[in-house]
A and B are shown apart, each in its own frame.
Chain A
Amino acid sequence: MKASVRLKVRRQDNPKSTPYWESFEIPYRQHLNVINLLMAIQENPVNEHGQKVAPVVWECSCLEEVCGSCTMIINGKVRQSCSALVDQFEQPIVLEPMSKFPVVRDLRVDRRAMFETLKKIQGWVNIDGYFNLGPGPVLDEKIRMKCYEYSRCMTCGCCCEACPQFNSRSPFIGAFAFGQVHLFNSHPVGKFDEARRLDSIMGMGGLADCGNAQNCLRACPKNIPLPDAIAELGWTTTKRAVTRFFKE
C-alpha cells in the first residue's frame, strides 16, 4: 500500500490576501477521509519541505454529511469533505475553498449569502404564537414524500458552487432557494404565505435567472430534485405574475 497521502491545499491567510498553494505528506492509514487528513495537519503542521506552517483552517461539524459545513472543492469538484474517502481520489488530493463565496481563511468560506436568501424567501412556516395549535393538517403521502426530499437540504452550497449562473456578475440567488420555496409552499400552514414567497423569487436574481444548466441536480449530495422544484415554480410564478398583473 501507499505509505503516505499527498495533499495540495489552496491557502489564503485572510479574506484580502493572495491565495497560494501548499503541499503536505500525510501517513497513510486505511479508511482515511479528507477531514482526517486535515486533522493530521492540525496535529503536525509541517509542509512537504519539512517547514512548520500555520495549520490549515477548515470547518466541519456533523461528520456524517448532514450539516454541510465541510463543503469544499476536492479534485476540481465541490462536495463534502467528511464523506470524501481518500481511497476514492487520485493523488495528490487537491483541496480548494468554494469559489463562489468569500474566503475567510484557507478552506473556510462565508456562506452568509445563502442564509440571507433563506430569510428573503421566508424559508420557514409562520405560526401565531407559542400556544398549542393541536394536531397539524394531514398531508397527502405523495406530497409528504416529495417534501421530505426538499427538507434534506443542508444549505451546503454545492448547488451554488456548481451553477454557471451563480457568480459575481449575476444576482442569481442559487437553486437551493427554490427547493425551500417549494417545500414551504407545499406545507398546509406554510401555504398561507405562498404569494409572499413567490414574489420574493420573482425579482432580479430570482427564478427567471435560472438557465436550466441543471448542475444543481448533479452536485447536490442529497440528490434533491431541484430542477423539478424550479420547473414547478416556473408555472406557479407565471400564474402569480398573471394574478398580480390583472387582479392586484
Chain B
Amino acid sequence: MAGGDHNYFYLRRLHSLLGIFPIGIFLFEHFFSNSFAFQGPERFNTLVETFQTIWITPILEVAMIGLPILFHAVLGLIIVYTSTTNFVPYSYYRNWMYFFQRATGLFALAFIFLHVYSARIAPLLEGRHVTFLDMQKIFHPAWAKWFYVIGILSAAYHLTNGICTTLMTWGITVSPRSQRITAVASWAMFLGLGAWGLLILRAFL
C-alpha cells in the first residue's frame, strides 16, 4: 500500500478528534462567553474588550479554532463529495442522520465563514472590536435572523450527532443498545444547545 494511503487513517481519526476537541469544546465556550449578552450591552462589550486585548487571544483563535476548523472543513468537503443520499428507498434513522451530518456541515461552513467575517474580520480591518451594536446591525435584515437560526441549529446538530458518530467511529459504543442511549442523549443535548444558542440570538434583538 502506498504511503499516502496509510496516512489516510490518521487523517480521518484527526478529523474526528478535531470535531470534538477543540471545535466542539469551542462551540460551548463560544455560547458561554456570548451569554454575557443576557446581561446587557455593556457587559457584552466589556467582555469582548477584555478578551481581545489579551495578547494570546489571536494566537489561540488561529491555532485552536481557525486551523482545526479549516482542516476539518477541507477533509469534510472531500467526505461530503464522496457521499450520496438514498434516504428515499432506505428511510432509516441513521441514514437520515448521515444525510443531516453532511448537510449541516455544509451549511455550518457557509455560516461560520460569514459569521467570522462580519463579526471578527470586518471590525478588525477597521481596527476595532465588535460591539453589541454591531451585532444588532448584523442581525437587522430578516434573512440574517433566519440565517443565524439555521446556522446555530446546524452547528448544534452537527456537534451533538457528531458526538454519537465519534463514539461509534472510535469503537466506544459498539452495541445497538449503547448507540441508542447515546442517540437519545445527543437529542437532549441538541435541544439544550439549540435553545441556548437561539436565546443568545434573541438577547440581541
| A and B physically associate | yes
Size bracket, chain A contacts: 35 or more
Cβ contact within 8 Å between B171 and A234? yes
Indicate if B57 sits at the interface (CB-CB under 8 A).
no
Q: How many A-B contacts are there with CB distance less than 8 Å?
A: 110
Size bracket, chain B contacts: 35 or more
| Nearest chain B residue, comparing its CB with the CB of A171 | B82
Cβ contact within 8 Å between B8 and A208? yes
Residues of A within 8 A of B12 (CB): 208-209
Question: What is the CA–CA distance of A235 and B95 in the complex, to the nearest angstrom?
Answer: 22
Residues of A within 8 A of B1 (CB): 199-200, 203
Q: How far is the CB of B31 from chain A (nearest CB, A)?
A: 26
Cβ contact within 8 Å between B90 and A219? yes
User: A203-B9, A208-B8 are known contacts. Are A77 and B171 too (CB-CB below 8 A)?
Assistant: no
Beta-carbon contacts under 8 Å, B72-123 to A: 79, 81-86, 88-90, 92, 94-95, 97-99, 101
Indicate if A236 sits at the interface (CB-CB under 8 A).
yes
- Chain B residues close to A by CB (< 8 Å): 1-2, 5-6, 8-10, 12-13, 79, 81-86, 88-90, 92, 94-95, 97-99, 101, 165, 168-176, 179
27 residue pairs from A and B, CB less than 8 Å apart: A164-B84, A164-B86, A164-B95, A165-B83, A169-B84, A172-B82, A202-B6, A203-B5, A206-B8, A207-B9, A208-B9, A208-B169, A210-B169, A211-B165, A212-B94, A212-B97, A213-B92, A213-B94, A213-B95, A214-B94, A232-B171, A233-B171, A235-B170, A235-B171, A238-B170, A241-B9, A241-B10
